[in-house]
A = this chain, B = another copy of it.
Amino acid sequence: MTGAKPAIVIHGGAGTITRADMTGEKEAEIRAKLQESVQAGYRALMAGESSSRAVIAAINVMEDSPLFNAGNGSVFNAAGNHEMDASIMEGAGLNAGAVASVSQIKNPIDLASRVMTDSEHVMLMGDGAEEFARQQGFKMMDPASFYTDFRWQQLQRIRAREQAKADQKDQWYSTVGAVALDMQGNLAAGTSTGGTCNKRWGRVGDSPIIGAGTYASNSSCAVSATGHGEVFIRHVAAYNICQRVELGTPLSEAADTVVNDILVKANGEGGVIAIDRYGNIATPFNSEGMYRASIDTGGAMDISIYREDGEAEGALVGNVDH
């Protein structure tokens, strides 16, 4: 399958994203960063690099931006610290790596990838994961370097609301992720997150869980999820879609069934990005919006935030299956 036409899809999180909350300036900034991310991944693919390298390149752009809840823009936990999670999987050999609750790693997706390539394990967590990172030559960041004023103010708002027992729905269950198909016909998926704002007790969401937040298999598809992690774990969201595709369901139908039927019934707000080995793309979400961008096998780029974007920008979408 060498010579396949590559394609890539990224997301920057789903959740309570409404036009009312958004300024024109902020929206332009987010769209520009989504474009930078998807183009970074696509450039890697066009240079003949592997789908996992492309996934990492795309995610690194979002991790390095304060606009998304991952890496540099990670939310604060209840103790006022950062606990970041990431996972990556390659569809060719089902190799996978994941880290949970790291606080000193600039790009958690890089460490997840190193777990995949340089350890005999799939998942490392906490101080132990950072000990592995140190042995692998990763630079340890000052945890304070992850401070952003926007996230700190968000924590203060949520703390105030929690004391008022108000609705905590908009804790921003957001993540970043990417899925890609490379010229060799290999799929990969990756996800990186700063967790949920104000989280306690070492809570682990779906992002570092292979099967729930991330899955890739060349015999089906590659999926990265973003949403209410607990529900995505209980329904094994990413693998759920892959196994349906493996058994013959078209990608768009499989992804739609899981996101808009199974997860909706379980109150699991969020969405997924998915790509199959033919380059078909699906980006269903049941939340008000999902930051997302794609470049399909025909080279057509789409950058969307709201539900109606896909239709409004139909002319740009080309032969994308969504």
Contacts and interface: CB of A to CB of B under 8 A. Distances in A.
Interface of A: 89, 94-96, 100-101, 119-129, 131-132, 200-205, 209-212, 215, 229-230, 233-236, 239-240, 243, 247, 266
Contacts of A230: 120-122
Contacts of A243: 240, 243
Contact of A125 (B94, B122, B132, B204): B204
Contacts of A200: 128, 131-132
A92 to B, nearest CB: 12
Contact of A122 (B131, B233, B240): B233
A229 B121 CA distance: 9
Copies per assembly: 2
Q: Which 7 A-B pairs have the closest CB atoms?
A: A128-B202, A128-B201, A132-B201, A123-B204, A211-B236, A125-B202, A211-B211
Given A125-B125, A243-B240, A266-B94, A201 B119 contact: yes
Contacts of A124: 201-204
B266 A239 contact: no
Contacts of A129: 201-202
Contacts of A126: 101, 125-126, 202
A320 B128 CA distance: 43
8 contacts: A94-B235, A120-B230, A122-B234, A125-B125, A125-B202, A126-B202, A211-B233, A211-B236
Contact of A211 (B121, B203, B209): B209
A100 B128 CA distance: 13
Contacts of A202: 124-129, 131-132
A204 B94 contact: no
Given A121-B201, A203-B123, A243-B240, A96 B234 contact: yes
A233 B89 CA distance: 11
Given A119-B201, A211-B209, A211-B233, A125 B101 contact: yes
A212 B239 CA distance: 11
Contact of A209 (B121, B205, B209, B235): B209
A213 to B, nearest CB: 11
Given A94-B235, A210-B236, A239-B240, 17 more contacts: A94-B234, A96-B234, A101-B125, A122-B234, A125-B126, A126-B202, A128-B200, A131-B200, A132-B201, A210-B212, A210-B234, A211-B211, A211-B212, A211-B236, A236-B236, A240-B243, A247-B247
A233 B266 CA distance: 24
